[in-house]
Structure 1
Amino acid sequence: MEPPHDLDKDKNDRNSAAPTACVLPGLVDLQVNGYKGVDFSGGDLTEEAFAQACRDMLAAGATAFLPTLITSPAQVYERNLPLIARVLDAEEFRGRVLGIHLEGPFISRQDGARGAHSAEWVRDPDPAYLDELIRLADGKIRLLTIAADQKGADDLSRHATGRGIAVSLGHHMADEADLARLTAVGAKALTHLGNAVPAVLPRHENPIWAGLTADRLDATIIADGHHLPLSILKTILRAKGPGHCIVISDASPLAGLPAGEYWSMGARVRLEANGRLHNPTTGYMAGSSATILDCANHLASLGLAGLGELGAMFFYNPLRLIGVSPRQVAVSRRVLFDVRQRRVFLE
């Protein structure tokens, strides 16, 4: 797909003769860290709580998704990965909870690039430890986020790809050479491009510019209205094109909860009434409070995507990245797009 000729242009005229509501193929979210107080990386996660969080996330608009574990201590992986894998075997989640996204532990230790992940649990690239995580997850890891600028990242990417896992690059300070090297050994995407970088960067030599020009890498983007300013969102869409963008929610365990102050990911965080979730001490974002349906509505409301672009960025592109056929997805509720009101909703 090619990007729209003019992302600023009001699309009302173009859509004026269209039906009021058109059917979208679905909304697939590759990055969900938890929901309604249930932390998928939490040391107290239970099968019952995880299963209910999955039901709630699906009811909130996700057609299918990947539960995501962030950088964690070994005992959390040893406990939570088998637990999650068992629940994923349940018939009710077949074709709906598609596998696991491991975001870490092989990321940068640098402040800013590390995001909300704990430096204490970050690991150097280690194919043998990845094999152990794959074993714990009963082979259900679909997506792995690693830092491209770490020594041994190319060997890890090659190894993961050989095990059938899609590799995405993020939480790093990678330059163009790093991205090219990792692409050559199987990396397919960039994790939440424009985020998980320090607040102040070199003007030209930085991971955002490098990612924008990495033509062979898809970009996942958090289109929740808080993580990316409109100017950056437009720039990524123009540089990558809708055919190579994947919208994610990056929903935190606090998504679906009321505004207030909470303890999450080892730190005090604040959920504002407008949905912005951040660490008031560091100023960095602490994940998202949005669902994938919220993200679809945000993007649609801006007039930046029509029916075809939404279908690509929310359904076909994420499935292509993780190697899942659209026919394998169990669509239980139709997703509709009102082209005149620029609104996405469930039937």
Structure 2
Amino acid sequence: MEIPGYVDLQVNGYKGVDFSSSELTEERFLYACRELIKSGTIVFLPTIITSSKEIYERNLQMISKAIQRDDLKDHIPGIHLEGPFISDVDGARGAHNPEWVLQPDLVFFDQLVEWSDGKVKLLTIAAELEQSDVLCRHAVDKGVTVSLGHQLASETDLQRLSDSGASLLTHLGNGIPQMIDRHNNPIWAGLANDDLRAMIITDGHHLPPSLIKIILKIKGASNTIIVSDASPIAGLSPGNYSTLGNDVILEESGRLFNPETGYLVGSSSTMRECISYMRSLNFIDEQDLSSVGFYNSLEILDINPQSIIDRLG
């Protein structure tokens, strides 16, 4: 069956609108969402990265109110919190502000859920943090899916968290330092854990084709999920920008990076572009492309695909 569009579990913003900005307005948020839907991403989770408590309180309340509108509620089932309970180590932390990174805190997590009016659907945490397993069980008990990323986790850490209810890996192969142990590292450990599905960014910049192929060979299309990790710069023309606390360059190729650190700062691609790149690699057929770009994500969100096809097709 032909799918009506794509599902994206990780969208930081679009066309100049930053979902984690202190200057976000409801009007700008609605504009970004409508433009993203037009691009072919018909179901998605607005993602707030590690932020100050003031931004969390302001933006979670604003976004949770907006996504309950009649024209958005079928498209936006909830919110992804990428942080603040992640590694504070350079490289693993990625573009997240180290001042706002926190250790696992059940009270603050509950506050985040309250500010979101219960709309938090996905939480990314680092598996190696003390009490991360306690937070994981607590979040899962509240109906929140837990993913593991921006971490320096070992095989033991990942097993401990998967035993505690974690079910995903956030952008596997990214959110780690450039230099890692050749055997004991989060990529190998994530590949080896059969209980964790892999989210990957297939924009042509975040992962080399060889690693994408390996992930698909090991996890299989049924346990792989493509996300865009779209930054607020996605959808804009090449140039110099400031986004997610970084001065960045968007090249003609679509590569978006901080020239001082060399690290990528999210992607400039939509799901349509990520799927197109994936198709060009010829690793999987059209049925499996539908799985990694539509069906698997809806399963994570506990949404009946047929209901989306009927309402949005």
TM-score category (smaller protein): over 0.9
1:136 corresponds in structure 2 to: 115
**Is structure 2 residue 207 aligned with structure 1 residue 245?**
no
Q: Secondary structure at the match of 1:93?
A: coil
TM-score, normalized by length of structure 2? 0.98
Q: Go from structure 1 to structure 2 and tell me whether the alpha carbon gap of 1:331 and 1:105 turns closer, same or farther (over 3 Å shift).
A: farther
2:66 corresponds in structure 1 to: 87
1:275 corresponds in structure 2 to: 254
Q: Distance in 2 between matches of 1:118 and 1:155?
A: 24
Q: Distance in 2 between matches of 1:95 and 1:179?
A: 33
TM superposition outliers: structure 1 runs of 4+ over 3 Å: 330-334
Candidates 54, 57, 61, aligned match of 1:75: 54
- 1:331 Cα deviation from its structure 2 partner: 6.1
Say whether the 8 Å CA contact 1:63–1:330 is kept in structure 2.
no
Q: Distance in 2 between matches of 1:124 and 1:178?
A: 15
1:257 corresponds in structure 2 to: 236
Mapping 1:150-189, distance limit 5 Å? 150-189=129-168
TM-score, normalized by length of structure 1? 0.88
Candidates 25, 28, 38, aligned match of 1:49: 28
Q: Go from structure 1 to structure 2 and tell me whether the alpha carbon gap of 1:332 and 1:55 turns closer, same or farther (over 3 Å shift).
A: farther
Given residue 46 of structure 1, which amino acid in structure 2 is its aligned partner?
A: T
Q: Distance in 2 between matches of 1:333 and 1:134?
A: 28
**Is structure 2 residue 261 aligned with structure 1 residue 302?**
no
Mapping 1:332-347, distance limit 5 Å? 334=313
1:195 corresponds in structure 2 to: 174
Aligned pairs, how many? 313
- 1:324 Cα deviation from its structure 2 partner: 2.2
Say whether the 8 Å CA contact 1:34–1:40 is kept in structure 2.
yes
Given residue 88 of structure 1, which amino acid in structure 2 is its aligned partner?
A: I
Q: Distance in 2 between matches of 1:330 and 1:40?
A: 27
Aligned CA-pair RMSD? 1.2
Q: Go from structure 1 to structure 2 and tell me whether the alpha carbon gap of 1:306 and 1:24 turns closer, same or farther (over 3 Å shift).
A: farther
**Is structure 2 residue 92 aligned with structure 1 residue 103?**
no
- 1:332 Cα deviation from its structure 2 partner: 6.3
Q: Distance in 2 between matches of 1:331 and 1:57?
A: 20
Say whether the 8 Å CA contact 1:144–1:168 is kept in structure 2.
yes
**Is structure 2 residue 12 aligned with structure 1 residue 62?**
no
1:227 corresponds in structure 2 to: 206
Q: Secondary structure at the match of 2:71?
A: helix
Given residue 5 of structure 2, which amino acid in structure 1 is its aligned partner?
A: G
Residues 67-97 of structure 1, C-alpha deviations (whole Å, 9 max, x = no match): 0000000000010000001101100012211
Q: Secondary structure at the match of 2:41?
A: coil
Can you give the 5+ residue segments of structure 1 that lack an aligned partner in the other structure? 1-21, 335-347
Q: Distance in 1 between matches of 2:243 and 2:309?
A: 32
Residues 100-147 of structure 1, C-alpha deviations (whole Å, 9 max, x = no match): 000000000000000110101000001111100000000000000000
Say whether the 8 Å CA contact 1:25–1:311 is kept in structure 2.
no
Can you give the 5+ residue segments of structure 2 that lack an aligned partner in the other structure? none
- 1:190 Cα deviation from its structure 2 partner: 0.2
Residues 269-320 of structure 1, C-alpha deviations (whole Å, 9 max, x = no match): 1100110000100001000000000011111111122122012111111111
1:337 corresponds in structure 2 to: none
Tell me which structure has the larger Cα radius of gyration.
1
Q: Go from structure 1 to structure 2 and tell me whether the alpha carbon gap of 1:269 and 1:332 turns closer, same or farther (over 3 Å shift).
A: farther
Say whether the 8 Å CA contact 2:3–2:309 is kept in structure 1.
no
- 1:333 Cα deviation from its structure 2 partner: 6.0
1:125 corresponds in structure 2 to: 104
Q: Distance in 2 between matches of 1:95 and 1:225?
A: 30
Say whether the 8 Å CA contact 1:148–1:170 is kept in structure 2.
yes
1:149 corresponds in structure 2 to: 128
Residues 163-215 of structure 1, C-alpha deviations (whole Å, 9 max, x = no match): 00000000000011001000111000000000011001111010000000111
Q: Secondary structure at the match of 1:102?
A: strand
Tell me which of the two structures has the higher relative contact order, counting C-alpha pairs closer than 8 angstroms and 6 or more residues apart: 1
